Structure 1
Amino acid sequence: MDVIVRPTPSLQGEIGALSSKNYTTRYLLTAALADGKSTIYYPAHSEDSDAMRRCIADLGAVLEEDDEKIVITGFGSHPRSVKELNVGNAGAVLRFLMAIASLCPDVTFVNTYPDSLGKRPHDDLIDALGQLGVKVDHREGKLPIRIQGGQAKGGKIQVSGSVSSQYLSALLFLTPLLEKDSEIEVLHDLKSKVVVGQTLEVLQEAGIVIHASDDYMSFRVPGRQSYQPRTYTVQGDYPGSAAVLAAAAVTNSDVTIHRLKEQSKQGERAIVDVLRMMEVPLTHENDTVVVKGNGRLKAIEFDGDAATDAVLAMVAAAVFAEGTSRFYNVENLRYKECDRITDYLNELSKAGARVEERQAEIIVHGRPEGVEGGVEINAHFDHRVIMALTVVGLRAQKPLLIKDAHHVAKSYPQYFDHLTTLGASVEWVK
């Protein structure tokens, strides 16, 4: 389905942040890898987290869920033998489970999104699993991918971090369960180090011991460990909330978002600091952010590597800032559900924004007077692009029609409901 976003001069009201997708998927996995029952309070419901639910159930976990929590009886280090797993369009879920599938004799990950996840490469993780003795059949690093496991023992592993930190996180979930101790060396640069910190935080909560260097470029992982059953509480999600905060920043607003932890390890927490740098009036106290936007913003320069999933929302805000903004160190945006630099900037240009791209940079020449709009936008089946383009539509002079906007459900199914609650003029159309 498509959505029409009409110019909306003001937003007002309160919402609770949805639960973090990143933490939910990690807690679901650690609960599945434990022997016994774990409880997760306030788990996220999105296409990604639901893909993890579905796959760990296929691998033998038992899930019981109500409106507040999910109770998971895990399979420990012995997942059920299955022939196929379908992660949908969830890249992180695929990569984490490719590692865990090496505990199984023979699993094929099928390709149901050939135009999105099916185009994304996973060579660096495939190479690392090969070093553990895992046989992987693939199509030039892409889905479908067949894992023939059961032989991994641990040892020395090298993995590139230059494309994604998810390959490293996948190995960190797997190696504690192996017979031998492991040493993991990260080659080249490591993208999104903050997200590795989230993985290590969750592993520690699950009773797993990992010795990490200060720069996260090398790890010692004792083998023969066991994940412990635990009770987890999922914190609010900054990546999704970034788009709502940006929407409040570019309009006349009085918007409150609850459940945004001030000391969170989510790198996208930087959206609060970035909006402050843009001179947006806001407060962040007692895990609550209040934005009283006046539509006036100042241009900034920002290193986006630690806040990857909030950069598109920041760029959307910068479209209306006074001056030229620069977002650098963001090349890994090119390797997401779509090329979030070229594809996103092409659509922004259609709407009337003045933007330029470099290989690892986004340049935005702000238009405080607003953009023309009045066009049809291709969101490239990408939830982050959909959310960010919606922000632009609120300040356009004419409505934007965003194609296939239902793909926002990948991470934030309630996104348009929340915006409507705050007064945004959006309409679903077939």
Structure 2
Amino acid sequence: MNVTITPTLLKGAITPPPSKSQSHRLIIAAELAGGGSISNLADSQDIQATRRCMAALRESGEELPLLDCGESGSTLRFLIPVALALRGGGRFTGRGRLMERPQKPYFDLFAEKGIFYEQKDGVLTVSGRLMPGRYALRGDVSSQFITGLLYALPLLEGDSEIVLTTPLESRDYVYLTIDVLKRFGVDVRRTGEGWYVPGGQSYRACDAAVEADWSQAAFWYAAAGTGSDVEVTGMNLKSVQGDRVILEWGRMINNEPWTDGITVLVWKEVSEEAAREKAAPIAPDSRACSVSLDVSQAPDLVPPLAAWGALMNGALYLENAARLRMKESDRLAAVADVLGTLGAEVHEEPDRLVIIGKPNGLPGGVTVDSHNDHRIAMMAAIAATRCQEAVTITGAECVAKSYPNFWEDYEALGGVIRREG
């Protein structure tokens, strides 16, 4: 489906969909507990994949059940250890770029633990017995590997330990996992190097409600920050979701003070002189501010931040972002391509983006490729509100991966779109 947007500012109140990250985790815990009620559950394609795979683990009569993960990296990485603990393994398939995404942290552990794995013809087969013990893995590849082990290791007979060999990135996603485990009666203890996980535990059923999604809310905050009169409602300001930091970062981009007391991950203002040392072309005029953000702990915020930065009065540096090259798209390249085509000034580097804002708006009048990436399509839609001419987004149906009702919500806020195909 292609969507053509007639640029107009948005107006109204919007509650984002349920958290995809929290939904994945609650579904898995509830299945392992054999019960419990989860309300306000997300129904995106990724969440459907996790529900489908957990049902296959529970119901399939095959020795190694076939688990179709769709395009969901969370589903795949969370369930590889769970399948080993429950069924002695499984056969995993997926679509898009999913089966190209790196699994080396698991493969290194499997080679050490004597677990068979083979990736062939788009199918990853793992089989063997997951044993209690020491699990050493890098913390700077993806926190999803840690979450997968945190779900599986409590089910083993003996105690285990997860040891990080490098600093942990996306740490709040691990804290989100631990928060869900505690709700379902599973004990995980922080150590100086990682986590101690007692074995022989059982998940206990409980009722839980899924919060609104901060990573999706970020797009509406970006719309509000770039001129639209949008109020984001229904958000838990004390959420464990790390992407709540969009409030702080947005205020920095708009050069505003903040008072909510939410922890800022990493930030610093950058002077014009320092910006030139970073080889970014900053004009020596009335730039309001230049802001550098370390996005390693909140990588999903890069697309909405990039749209916001493209229209700011200053320069935005999105640092430590190399892992985004292995998402649904090469997300750094996709951001640079789409925003650049719209007329923004974006400089793509190996592990960061440098964006020079154009506060008076972007030309538009072009067709951009969503790169089959839900967050890229939504980024383009937000940037289009400040374009001078219409913008067409190809492959716009990809938003169903995480936000199936995005286009309906966009229209409800006054967005003017035409669907084709």
TM-score above 0.5:
yes
Compared with structure 1, are the counterparts of its residues 260 and 179 closer, same or farther at alpha carbon in structure 2 (3 Å cutoff)?
Answer: same
In structure 2, stretches of 5+ residues that fail to align are 263-286
Among candidates 289, 311, 314, match of residue 320 of structure 1: 311
Match of 1:235 in 2: 211
Q: Say whether residues 1:206 and 2:204 are aligned partners.
A: no
Q: 1:106 to 1:272 in 2, by over 3 A?
A: closer
Cα offset, 1:134, TM superposition: 2.2
Q: Which residue of 1 aligns with 2:117?
A: 136
Task: Give the deviation of 1:376 after TM superposition.
Answer: 1.4
Determine if the alignment matches structure 1 residue 43 to structure 2 residue 21.
no
Structure-to-structure mapping, 1:147-166, within 5 angstroms: 147-149=126-128, 151-166=129-144
- Could you tell me how far apart the structure 1 residues matched to 2:183 and 2:361 are? 46
Partner residue, 2:333? 342
Distance 1:106 1:328, change over 3 A: closer
1:132 deviation in Å? 3.7
Counterpart of 1:220 in structure 2 is 196
Q: Residue 302 of structure 1 aligns to a residue in which SS?
A: strand
Is 1:55 the equivalent of 2:31? no
CA contact (8 A) 1:157 1:185 kept: yes
Residue 36 of structure 2 aligns to a residue whose secondary structure is strand
The separation in 2 between residues aligned to 1:186 and 1:211, in whole angstroms, is 14
Alignment of 1:403 with 2:380, yes or no, is no
Q: Is the 8 A contact 1:58 1:82 kept in 2?
A: no
- Structure 1 unaligned segments of length 5 or more: list them: 62-77, 288-295
Corresponding residue for 1:107?
Answer: 90
Q: How far apart are 1:80 and its partner, in Å?
A: 7.6
The equivalent residue for 2:71 is: 89
**Paired AA for residue 128 in structure 1:** L
Q: What letter corresponds to residue 189 of structure 1 in structure 2?
A: P
* Counterpart for residue 227 of structure 2: 251
SS at match of 1:59: helix
What is the aligned length?
395
Q: Report the alpha carbon displacement of residue 314 of structure 1 after superposing the two structures with TM.
A: 0.8
Instruction: Specify whether residues 282 and 131 from structure 1 end up closer, same or farther in structure 2 by C-alpha distance, changes over 3 A only.
Output: same
Correspondence 1:124 to 2:105: yes
Q: Does 1:376 align with 2:367?
A: yes
Structure 1 pair 130–38 and aligned structure 2 pair: CA distance change class (3 A)? farther
Question: How far apart are the structure 2 equivalents of 1:153 and 1:284?
Answer: 48
* CA deviation after TM superposition for structure 1 residue 173, in Å: 0.7
Q: Percent identity?
A: 31
Quick check: 83-92 or 154-163, which moved more?
154-163
Matched residue, 2:245: 270
Shift of 1:332: 1.5
Alpha-carbon contact 1:372-1:398 (below 8 Å) kept: yes
In structure 1, what is the equivalent of residue 3 of structure 2?
A: 3
Tell me how far 1:402 sits from its aligned partner. Answer: 1.0
* Cα drift, residue 329 of structure 1: 1.7
1:40–1:284 CA distance, 2 compared to 1 (3 A): farther
Q: 1:144-183 CA distances to partner (integer Å, 9 max, x unpaired)?
A: 200113x222111111222211011111111111112111
1:359 CA displacement: 1.8
1:80–1:263 CA distance, 2 compared to 1 (3 A): farther
Q: Secondary structure at the match of 2:102?
A: coil
The C-alpha deviation readout for 1:204-244, integer Å capped at 9, x for no partner, is 11111111136xx4111111111111111111100011111
Q: CA deviation at 1:298?
A: 5.3
**TM-score normalised to the size of structure 1?**
0.87
Asked if the contact 2:377/2:396 (under 8 Å) is kept, the reply is yes
After superposition, the C-alpha distances for 1:267-303 in whole angstroms (9 at most, x for unaligned) are 1111111122233789998x9xxxxxxxx98542211
User: Against the structure 1 CA distance between its residues 147 and 169, is the aligned structure 2 distance closer, same or farther, given a 3 Å change threshold?
Assistant: same
Q: Distance in 2 between matches of 1:132 and 1:105?
A: 13
1:41-95 deviation line (CA, Å, top 9, x unaligned): 111110111111111111227xxxxxxxxxxxxxxxx998453110100001011
Query: How far 1:371 sits from its partner (Å)?
Result: 1.3
Counterpart-to-counterpart distance in 2, 1:159 and 1:205: 26
SS of the counterpart of 1:251? Answer: coil
| Post-superposition CA distance 1:311-345 (Å, at most 9, x none) | 21011011011121111122221121111111221
Deviation sequence 1:369-400 (CA, Å, 0-9, x none): 21111111111111111111111111111111
SS in 2 for 1:269: helix
Query: Within 2, Cα distance between the matches of 1:80 and 1:144?
Result: 16
Given that 1:163 and 1:335 are in contact with CA atoms closer than 8 Å, whether structure 2 keeps it comes out as: no
Q: Distance in 1 between matches of 2:416 and 2:14?
A: 17
**Mapped partners of 1:428, 1:312: distance in 2:** 23
CA distance in 2 between counterparts of 1:152 and 1:57 reads 21
TM normalised by structure 2 equals 0.88
User: For 1:191, what is the secondary structure of its paired residue?
Assistant: coil
CA distance in 2, matches of 1:21, 1:146: 26
For 1:146, the equivalent position in structure 2 comes to: 125
**Distance of 2:82 and 2:364 partners within structure 1:** 46
Q: What secondary structure sits across from 2:10 in the alignment?
A: strand
- Quote the Cα distance in structure 2 between the aligned partners of 1:11 and 1:282: 24
**Hey, what's the Cα distance between the residues in 2 that align with 1:25 and 1:284?**
32
1:260 paired to 2:235:
yes
CA distance in 2, matches of 1:229, 1:46: 24
1:116 maps to amino acid: R
What is the alpha-carbon root mean square deviation over aligned residues? Answer: 2.3
How far is the alpha carbon of 1:143 from its aligned partner?
4.3
2:167 maps to 1:189: yes
More helix by share: 2
**Superposed displacement of residue 422, structure 1:** 0.8
**1:158 is paired with a residue of what secondary structure?**
strand
